[in-house]
Structure 1
Amino acid sequence: MKFCDECGSMMKSGAGEDHWVCDSCGNEIGRESDDSEWTTQSQVESEVVDVSDAEDKGLPTTTAQCPNCDNDRAYWYMQQIRSADESETRFFVCTECEHKWREDDH
């Protein structure tokens, strides 16, 4: 991986892969001989896994009463929805009916 000396953005391989090109500012530099081990990309066969019916959303769960179905478990996450000097808002998603509600920190 190489970073641009001009703007600090990550550089990518140029045409022919003999130089680096910055997408942000267009800066180009030649590639050094020891750069090749860091820039090779390997092809990895990937298998498509159907997770459409998986219950785990990758979010933490907590005890929270759903106002829609009275289930007592919910996924939760925090999100900044107001100005930066105000606290984040906690969102809940019911593990049963997937109803979404929020709880503002005061």
Structure 2
Amino acid sequence: MFCLHVDMRFCPICGSRVKSEKKGSSTIFICLKCGHTYVGSGDTVRSENRIQVREREAISIVESSVDTYKPLPTTIIECPKCGYMRAYCWISQTEDIDRDATKFFRCVRCGYVWREYT
């Protein structure tokens, strides 16, 4: 878990959020909505969010026999290890259901396995 601190300033004219730009030794604030600019003063709101971050699980290949992969389709893609241009391919949902699936490849020649996030 980590903590994220955010300082926000608001436009004294329209109340929208402003962005800051450093000009020499002073800071100029520019409204994102109405374009009003001012130097240095304004209301600041401090926001703190705590975010839970999960570690990714390691993926291990249980069966390494080439015969296991024979029913899988093959595709033309270059193996990053040996350069061969054909690999078995399959798709697996490795993370949460709301995330995209991961495409796996296994080189027909050397057996190297790699993945591609879709």
Question: TM-score, length-normalised on structure 1?
Answer: 0.47
Higher RCO (CA-CA < 8 Å; seq separation 6+) = 2
Question: TM-score, length-normalised on structure 2?
Answer: 0.42
Quick check: which one's strand share is greater? Answer: 2
Quick check: which one's helix share is greater? Answer: 1
Please say which structure displays the higher CA radius of gyration: 2
